[in-house]
Homo-oligomer: A and B are copies of this chain.
Amino acid sequence: MANHPIRIAVDAMGGDHAPQEIVSGAVQGARAYGVEVLLVGPPDIIEAELQKHDTQGIRYQIVPASEVIEMGESPSVGLRKKKDASIIVTAKCVKRGDAQGMVAAGSTGAAMASALLYVGRIEGVDRPAIGVLLPSISSPCLLIDAGANADCTPEMLSQFAVMGNIYMQNVRNVKKPRVGLLNIGEEQSKGNAFAHTAFQLLEKDPRFHFIGNVEGKELFMDGADVAVTDGFTGNVALKSAEGVMKMFGATLKTELKRSMKTKLGYLLAEPALKATSKKVDPEEVGGSLLFGIKGVCVISHGSSKARGIKNAIRVAKEAVVADVLGKITNQIREGIDIHEHASEIF
């Protein structure tokens, strides 16, 4: 392993805090997790950032890319016009096999499109999907699809379940992941027409352990290890949870400032508040995984700072080490038969 470390390509120019925080996080990640990082972007800019850090003993390469797709820019227009965009070059590093995984902050749309166009889909996967590990009272739940596909077929949900199941088994060491369908009640009769059809399909799929419907609150209360849903519902669940946590935090801050007594209480309780924030912090989780493409792809929040990027590198490394890609490829290949069989039933 010493001579062939795991290589992760990092789009050094993506996100609100590029290149400073991205390069800083990549250096930290390379050191902490012993991976080689491929920093993608204009070499002079990256060199200048690297000067600020101690790079002794870490492995890195600089991969030139002259253009950047901005946060507000339309991904489709950006990708068409800017063929030398850092996100495209990052994806191409994985395509060529120069890196086994990629980390990208910034526009989720541009990262997904680059991964899909330049790394490519695993054969048999209908549509790649975003998986996000949600904070929980005990072990985290993988929500998949958290936003890649606004419209899904029930068959797509079966594949999401397969991919999420493999991830939780091999990376999170959950022996027999409980796979649930995100729905508005526990009984099979609950939900919309789409959920009813998906339930029937998931129930008959032998590739994972389906536990039935799970409600939104169970995502955070250890009700399942994998929760499958369409990308519209998944994204609404994710963003609603984000919003209410922000609101809760902001309200608590205001209330704590109301009196000297509560201010003092805050000072004493600060370690607990910080520990709690850390546990529910998306940066700590380290990003979303795009499942179903021929490489490991971790998409970080556009607002990611160094810590977020460092954690994203950890997440990418874990997926590479566990060979999530190989295992998904095999099971999807086997699954093609099951699928054909399933389509006869329904």
Decide yes or no whether A201 CB sits under 8 A from chain B: no
Identify the closest chain B residue to A252 (Cβ).
B276
Contact digits for A275-316, partner B, Cβ 8 Å, 1 yes 0 no: 110011000000000000000000000000000000000000
- Interface segment, one of A42-50, A218-226, A317-325: A218-226
Q: How many copies does the complex hold?
A: 2
Tell whether, in the assembled complex, residue B195 and residue A216 are in contact, meaning their CB atoms are under 8 Å apart. no
Chain B residues lying within 8 Å of A276, measured Cβ to Cβ, are: 248, 251-252, 255
Tell whether, in the assembled complex, residue B251 and residue A279 are in contact, meaning their CB atoms are under 8 Å apart. yes
Tell whether, in the assembled complex, residue A216 and residue B236 are in contact, meaning their CB atoms are under 8 Å apart. yes
Taking a contact as CB atoms closer than 8 A, the residue among B195, B239, B240, B272 that contacts A265 in the complex is B272
Contact digits for A101-126, partner B, Cβ 8 Å, 1 yes 0 no: 00000000000000000000000000
How many of chain A's residues have a CB under 8 angstroms from any CB in B? 62
Tell whether, in the assembled complex, residue B242 and residue A217 are in contact, meaning their CB atoms are under 8 Å apart. yes
Decide yes or no whether A184 CB sits under 8 A from chain B: yes
Chain B residues lying within 8 Å of A80, measured Cβ to Cβ, are: none
Taking a contact as CB atoms closer than 8 A, the residue among B240, B251, B255 that contacts A219 in the complex is B240
Decide yes or no whether A269 CB sits under 8 A from chain B: yes
Query: Please, how many angstroms separate the alpha-carbon atoms of A243 and B227 in the complex?
Result: 14
Taking a contact as CB atoms closer than 8 A, the residue among B182, B242, B267 that contacts A216 in the complex is B242
Query: Please, how many angstroms separate the alpha-carbon atoms of A246 and B217 in the complex?
Result: 8
Most buried by B among A195, A235, A266, A268: A268
- Interface segment, one of A13-21, A162-170, A256-264, A326-334: A256-264
Contact digits for A14-52, partner B, Cβ 8 Å, 1 yes 0 no: 000000000000000000000000000000000000000
Chain B residues lying within 8 Å of A273, measured Cβ to Cβ, are: 252, 255
4 closest pairs, A vs B, by CB? A265-B268, A265-B269, A217-B243, A216-B239
